[in-house]
Amino acid sequence: TGNGLPRRNYNVKGLLITMWQNILKQNLISNITIRGNETTAMFLDTKTDEKLKMSVSIHDESLDANIIDKEGSQITRAYAEKIDDETFQAKDVRTDPRFIRRGYGENLYHLIAYALVNQGYNFVPDDAQSGEMQQMWDKNTSYGSWDIPDYM
């Protein structure tokens, strides 16, 4: 420019994309508490802005996890089995059909991985899974074990 200041080019489309990416990366899991083999947290449903209770219970040979609504009804549940001294393998995750595609299963798996890593375990996929589950695992794993988001 003629005033001696460097010229700035603003890429509005790029700025909007960056802002949207930051919104999507917000901390959906908060208030994580570990007490022995029990891990609890709160999950933010971004569609309703409700915070829902999440829990993971690690047993000798398996684990159970769930997200429940304010009335105590289970929205999402997951189950995994211990396959060796260092590893739990995902066996099942189910979400109430009214809440599908809102991040419930994926974020429950984030909390499971967090709880297991804090107990010294890895969290790996089942050998037999649907194409949709395989895509979710591919997106969230490196070196074969589920990755924990940086904000956790």
Distance CA 77, CA 60 (A): 19
* Residue 64, pLDDT above cutoff 90: yes
Distance CA 126, CA 80 (A): 9
The pLDDT of residue 18 is 46
Share above pLDDT 70 across residues of the chain, in percent, rounded to a whole number: 82
Distance CA 54, CA 141 (A): 21
The pLDDT of residue 16 is 53
* Residue 86, pLDDT above cutoff 70: yes
For residues 41-51, average pLDDT = 92
Q: Which long-range contacts (CB under 8 A, 24 or more apart) does 91-99 make?
A: 91/126, 93/133, 99/45, 99/75
Half-sphere exposure of 29 (CA within 13 A, CB side): 26
Backbone angles phi and psi of 57, in degrees to 5? -120, 115
Please give the residue that has the higher pLDDT: either 6 or 91. Answer: 91
The pLDDT-based confidence of 143 (bands split at 50, 70, 90) is: confident
Residue 105 near residue 93, CB atoms below 8 Å: yes
* Residue 129, pLDDT above cutoff 80: no
